[in-house]
Amino acid sequence: MGMIYHKKRLWSKLKEEREKNSSSTENNSQTSEQPEENSSDSYTKTDINRMSTAELQELAENEGIEGAHEKSGGELKKMLIEHFSL
């Protein structure tokens, strides 16, 4: 039951990230640093380490990491942990 809750929480966070990225295109120049700060509050190192490769690829793309679909899960985990300064 805990794993089901965990996956639901991760998917809800991914949906929130998508909505944040797509909802405010007008203020993009003023808030370019804010999504990164909000994202680091949303994800923990444990969250990232428990994600599947598909989830990591989607998150990496949302965060602007290029070539996410060409990287392995381990590489993406390292990159995302560094990206979020965890």
Q: How confident is the model over 37-53, as pLDDT tens digits?
A: 444 457 899 999 999 99
Which residues of the chain are under the pLDDT cut of 70?
A: 1-7, 22-41
pLDDT at 4: 57
Q: With a threshold of 0.75, does the pTM exceed it?
A: no
Q: What angle do CA 7, 9, 55 make, to 5 degrees?
A: 55
pLDDT at 60: 92
Any residues with CB less than 8 A from the CB of 73 and at least 6 apart, and which? 52, 53, 56
Residues 9, 5: Cα–Cα separation, whole Å: 6
